[in-house]
Amino acid sequence: MPSTTITLHRIANHDSLTIAPQATAVRGRICVPGDKSISHRALMLGAMATGETQIQGLLLGEDPRSTAACFRAMGAIISELNSDLVTVQGIGLGQLREPVDVLDAGNSGTTMRLMLGLLASQPRRFFTVTGDASLRSRPMSRVIHPLQQMGAQIWCRSGGYAPLAVQGQSLKPIHFRSPIASAQVKSCILLAGLLTEGQTTVTEPALSRDHSERMLRAFGAEVSVDPETCSATVTGMAPLHGQTVIVPGDISSAAFWLVAGAIVPDSELVIENVGVNPTRTGILEALTLMGADIQRQNEREVAGEPVADLRVRSSLLKACTISGDIIPRLIDEIPILAVAATVAQGTTVIRDAAELRVKESDRLAVMATQLNRMGANVTELPDGLEITGGTPLTGTEVDSHTDHRIAMSLAVAALIARGPTTIQRAEAAAISYPDFTATLQQACTTS
């Protein structure tokens, strides 16, 4: 069979990515870009600290660029995001400058939600915040309400949508019991607590990613966690000090290669330097449960985060049920997990994942529609997906709905589809993975 050809066409700011014919194998060693969640936090804490922060391995994607632009507009000096080392000259807690224009969080929910906690707690400064069409349709009341309980003054469009206006002021500490397990909500409130006298606590129904807690501590904040009750507490007013942050590879980006390596026959990939923080490794557990052959190699700790190389080899997959507390630990990997489920024997059921409806797109609806266009057997549930594996995929035209994780999931599905697949609006991948197409090419040609 001829080797897979990957062609990118650009028409009026949109890329269409065509993949054909189906891959015979994916092989080689792959480095994934820096973790998106850790990258945002490194830029934000660097900006709020005194002194210089050096960030190695920052994700040079569109989302961290949005964070960098917002904090530059408020006085932080952040070097160009074009090399492996990014420096931030911080301005100190409570010293954000009032920006002279609207802050634009672009497509990034993490930028908008985490930043709101910082803005709301800066006395005597006024901020306006917006984002792209997708972000302006995502719910912000989940952070506005607890911030208002702390005394914050925030205005929004009806229904709790951006654009937003914030009059910063001194807040009071609260114990917020969040109805959803969300690291963005938790981090927003903890960041607001940084500049609030006393102890601010967030309790979640299940543990979400804990990068904020880890990094806040490293920067000198007083943070305690109770994993038993899924609670985190920050004691306000401790100054932050610039640090060296080493950002591990993003397990959410590695997930595309883990699934590609598992489902394309005769494959073997090693994905180097992947962050394996236990609050993020649900994808490894789910794929292993499905029978994937994944090994952790060279496990180590780098700058407070566990890291490993991940080796995946193709194997036959079987269906599984994914629900409950594991969901926040693989929330961003559900679209690619759905692709794995299309080849698994039996019916995979994903539940308790209604949060996917308010991501960069309605990921349940979009994945069901797009995979079904390719011949899969996917039923949309109110809070998940039911996928019966084994119906062969056929290449056709599909659409990312400008959602980065959908674009890349569909590209992996294309590797096992008969006939050419064209993914419209594939440029979305640059939000979290600017080199995705080049790496895909590399993995297909090393075979």
Q: Residues interacting with ligand S3P, by CB under 6 A?
A: 37, 110, 182-184, 187, 208-209, 331-332, 355
β-strands 14-20, 222-226: how paired? unpaired
CB of 187 to ligand S3P, least distance (A): 6
User: b/e string for 342-373 if b means 16 or more Cβ within 10 A?
Assistant: bbbeebbbbbbbebbeebbbbbbebbbebbbb
User: Which CB, 304 or 375, lies closer to ligand S3P?
Assistant: 304
CB of 66 to ligand S3P, least distance (A): 13
Give CA–CA dist 269/26, Å, rounded. 7
Task: Single out the residue of 240, 229, 282 nearest to residue 258, CA to CA.
Answer: 282
CB of 163 to ligand S3P, least distance (A): 20
User: Which CB, 88 or 263, lies closer to ligand S3P?
Assistant: 88
**Active-site residue (options: 104, 332, 399, 403):** 332
User: Which CB, 208 or 267, lies closer to ligand S3P?
Assistant: 208
CB of 110 to ligand S3P, least distance (A): 4
- Structure tokens given for 420: 């050419």
- The answer to whether 209 and 37 have CB atoms below 8 angstroms apart is yes
Give CA–CA dist 115/105, Å, rounded. 9
- The answer to whether 409 and 380 have CB atoms below 8 angstroms apart is no
332 is catalytic: yes
User: Which CB, 27 or 209, lies closer to ligand S3P?
Assistant: 209
Q: Rg for the chain (alpha carbons), in Å?
A: 21
Task: Single out the residue of 377, 376, 378, 335 nearest to residue 353, CA to CA.
Answer: 335
Residue number, nearest CB to ligand S3P: 37
Task: Single out the residue of 188, 154, 151, 147 nearest to residue 170, CA to CA.
Answer: 151
Q: Strand locations in 276-419, DSSP E?
A: 293-302, 305-313, 321-322, 347-350, 377-381, 384-388, 397-399
Hey, which residues are catalytic here? 332
